[in-house]
Amino acid sequence: MNRNPIIPFLLIIFLGVGLVFLLSSYGANTSDEGEKDAATEQEGGEDTASSGDFDAEGYAKQNCASCHGQDFSGAMGPALQGTSMAEEDFHDIVRNGKNAMPAHSEDQISDDDMKVLYQYFTE
């Protein structure tokens, strides 16, 4: 019988590539869980937004800038920098959303952190 040596070679290559993808996807999932566990431990065991050293500028750049502009002077959403909006209105819109503005739960930003964020925009 005449055996083709290329078939075992290809089989080994495909199994090796498949194993690499399997292990990398497993590693990606476990590292995400580890980061979440570490964040939960730092927050005292609760899975909510922290109110310790809240970085209002960082939060705003990550969550608000895409709609309200990089300098928060307005874009798709209204201007936030130098806003004259009452704090209660700001809190209500962030918590419940309005038009295209999505609602942000207590798990995403605590009430205390929202006060700091409001002060950042009114400075």
| Sequence ranges of the binding site for heme c | 64, 67-68, 101
User: Which residue ranges make up the annotated binding site?
Assistant: 64, 67-68, 101
Burial zone of 115 (CB within 10 Å; 0-12 exposed, 13-18 middle, 19+ buried): middle
Which residues, in sequence order, are bridge partners of residue 98? 101
CB 67 within 8 A of CB 60: no
SS (H, E, C) 70-94: CCCCCCCCCCCCCCCCCHHHHHHHH
Q: Which of 78, 77, 63 is nearest to 117 (CA)?
A: 63
